[in-house]
Amino acid sequence: MTKKTLAVVCGGGGFIGGHLVAHLRATGQYRVRSVDIKPASQWFQRFDDVDNLVLDLGRRDAATIAVEGAAVVYNLAADMGGMGFIENNKALCMLSVLINTHLLMAAKDAGVKKFFYASSACVYNAGKQLVTDNPGLAEGDAYPAQPEDGYGWEKLFSERMCRHFYEDFGLDVRVARFHNVYGPNGTYDGGREKAPAAISRKVQEAVRTNRLAIDIWGDGEQTRSFTYIDDCIEGIERLMRSDVREPINLGSSEMVSINQLVSIVEGIAGVTLTRSYDLSAPKGVRGRNSDNTLIRQLLDWEPSTSLRDGLARTYQWIGAELDAGAAGRPRVAA
């Protein structure tokens, strides 16, 4: 690959996509095109020396325009959010299948050399996520299929489509199953935010208002692992440099309960909050963690940023965003 090589990041106006665009731009290895459905003013990160396109990739003609001349395509585009969004918007989540379908078709026709698909830990069988002490979900645990309704089904179906585009048409695909990616320059309010950002915002607001209380969805004992954005980007690039075409976990194996997550953010802020629990709120599966055996074996690497360190950076960034909003300056769109 040379500087003349065009890399296209679909979903480049989003959280992970924006960080990937910033990374590819910084390496100087590619010409970069960033594509997103949101108005450019609402992109999380936008660079003037990148070819920025506002397109609805659910349309076949838009996908053709997006990948024209590309050697590498990264598909991170999807209508998604945290558990509150995906549990209440199953049809919208399923419609993201149009994005991957049209991008695969357009990539095949354009002679794209490599294609990356961002999948999710939501593909895993719900029957293996019933207890908080989850031993870790290995890649084979996606079958027999019983994924998260809506969002998980779309991701699992799209994984299979990527596989068959490689088998039938020779499109060189890579698939990563993301586990709860978080960090600066992402959604932290508005209903699509995930737990690390939501809790960081809530603690910031509690400190600022001196109302030292926090509302937690569920009983707080549900467990997850959370992956810092820098590890996610490094994992994507390591996978793209490899010959691994099977879906692979891209997540931290540092599992915590939501109560423990709150405690970490309280420690960063130097406060102790009164906790109340909303048992009627969306809470997802009981326990989910990433089994990193395969990624260590195939890539000789795994995410290593500690949750404490990643949350400290995220908490600081959200605080700066709230300061900017209070001062009347533009804020990153949610």
35 Cα distance to chain centroid: 16
Q: Strands 172-178, 248-250: parallel, antiparallel or unpaired by DSSP?
A: parallel
State both tokens at 30: 């590619």
Please name which of 25, 32, 24, 28 lies closest in space to residue 6, comparing C-alpha atoms: 32
State both tokens at 8: 């296209």
The length of the chain is: 334
**143 classed as catalytic:** no
Out of 74, 124, 151, 315, pick the active-site residue. 151
Distance from C-alpha of 73 to C-alpha of 70, rounded to nearest angstrom: 7
State both tokens at 217: 């969805």
What residues pair up with 287 in beta bridges, in sequence order? 223
Please, which residues have CB within 8 angstroms of residue 173's CB and are 6 or more apart in sequence?
A: 114, 115, 116, 117, 162, 163, 165, 166, 245
Within 13 Å of residue 272, how many CA atoms lie on the same side as its CB? Answer: 0
- The three-class DSSP label of residue 3 is coil
Which residues are annotated as catalytic?
A: 151
